[in-house]
Structure 1
Amino acid sequence: MKARNGRRPGGADVVETAKQKPMRIEILDAAAEIIVREGYDACTMRAVAALVDMKAGSLYYHFRSKDEIVEEILNQGIETLYARVAGTIRDLPKEAPFAQRLSAAVGVHIASLVGKDQKYMHVYEHLPPTIKRRSRKMREKYAQLWHDLFAGGIASGEADAAHDLRLLVPYFLGGLNRVPEWSRASGASSEQIAELAVATLLDGIGARQ
């Protein structure tokens, strides 16, 4: 039986067995549900414990703090997003043009952010900036995936090499990540939003002559 080392309040070691792992997932799910439904401030250790039918003190055997719970939610959400986008790009034919690769990646990214079943990914928009930064390492890994995608387009001559990818990638991802904030009000589908994002990036918004 696999075990995972953790810490009890006060610093004592605690071993988390494979049997306990589902409870961690249940706690993460509960915290994500509270944040999405009621906001970050409403997600207290007591509120999470109540939702999973556990004494508040017992929650500390699984997580040391609310921030630790939120950080794991963020990391798992980004890991899932990374796996989906990377898998989509990898499954395309090797000869697929840059525009097709970009369109596929954008489509998966947006669909993942607005999909009703992706609770972990919805948490991000409800968090204060200081908490969002806790997932920096995973976000950097995900940004590198997009950096490589754009670099491939430049290498093949399909994308303009004049653009600094250190600016372009965060600019583009920053826009995509704000989609959940306004997409519901617009009534647009994830497909429509993805098409708009790709078209404006590749063709711009200037009037065609």
Structure 2
Amino acid sequence: MAMPVTDEGPESKSARTRKRILDAAAYTLSRKGYADTRLSDVAERAELQAPAIYYYFPSRDDLVEEVMWSGIAEMREHISEILDTMPEATPPIERIMVAVGAHLRHELEISDYTTAAIRNAGQVPEKIRARQIAEEAAYGQVWKQLFQDAAEAGDLSDHLDLRAARMLTLGALNWASEWWTPSAGPLDVVVHTAQTIIRSGLSGAADPSTVDI
């Protein structure tokens, strides 16, 4: 029979140390990127000796892999929970706007894990991206349902390709991690601007078929 875990128990202390290492890795990855993240940086942030990290993670890539997966998993859970609390009568387009705001806030303000996962997705070796890719697919299903519901409700322009619209929306949201910092202006302004542009584009305020390219 397993012994209960207490605040003072060794298992609890181990779990706290492991979380401290992950938090430090997420912070470092989100700011320095995969190529420039060193275990010594992570250890310094976690207030540990670098060799201690190997007790919890066999390699640097195992640590990075956990951070990358966690970043997308956390965001999917965060946004799903927010959407689940909204009244059933909420128009689908408004649910998309809420998801836009929640995505940006989680990516840019709430979670170093999510910032790290988004910013490093194209940098880490493919072999350590498997779990993250699977989680990205699950998160994509959340957005796919949002767009399908909005289209069925007549909230979206008939001129849109739903997949292209969804991918362009997510791409724009993710790119914010490359240019936004608190010194660039209030996050509230970024969220409002993104919601305004995306609402206008999705609802078809301007018919793209009339644009002469």
Establish whether TM, by shorter chain, passes 0.5: yes
1:117-136 superposed matches below 5 A: 117-124=110-117, 126-127=119-120, 129-131=122-124, 134=129, 135-136=132-133
* Alignment match, 2:171: 174
Q: 1:45 touches 1:65 (CA, 8 Å); kept in 2?
A: no
Distance, in Å, in 1 between the alignment partners of 2:61 and 2:35 is: 11
Structure 2 letter corresponding to 1:149:
L
Indicate how the Cα distance of structure 1 residues 95 and 26 shifts in structure 2: closer, same or farther if over 3 A, else same.
same
Q: 1:125 touches 1:181 (CA, 8 Å); kept in 2?
A: no
Q: What is the CA-CA distance between 1:94 and the residue it aligns to?
A: 0.7
* Alignment match, 1:29: 23
Relative to the length of structure 2, the TM-score reads 0.76
1:133-144 superposed matches below 5 A: 134=129, 135-144=132-141
* Structure 2, gaps ≥5 residues long: 4-9, 208-213
Distance, in Å, in 2 between the alignment partners of 1:56 and 1:142 is: 34
**Once superposed, which parts of structure 1, at least 4 consecutive aligned residues long, lie more than 4 Å away?**
16-19
- Report the secondary structure of 1:40's partner residue: coil
1:87-98 superposed matches below 5 A: 87-98=81-92
Farther-moved stretch of structure 1 (157-166 vs 101-110)? 157-166
Between Structure 1 and Structure 2, which shows a larger proportion of strand residues? Answer: 1
CA RMSD in angstroms comes to 2.9
Q: What is the CA-CA distance between 1:27 and the residue it aligns to?
A: 0.9
Indicate how the Cα distance of structure 1 residues 195 and 38 shifts in structure 2: closer, same or farther if over 3 A, else same.
closer
* Structure 1, gaps ≥5 residues long: 3-15
Aligned identity (percent) is 26
Higher RCO (C-alpha 8 Å, min separation 6): 2
Distance, in Å, in 2 between the alignment partners of 1:120 and 1:49 is: 17
Relative to the length of structure 1, the TM-score reads 0.78
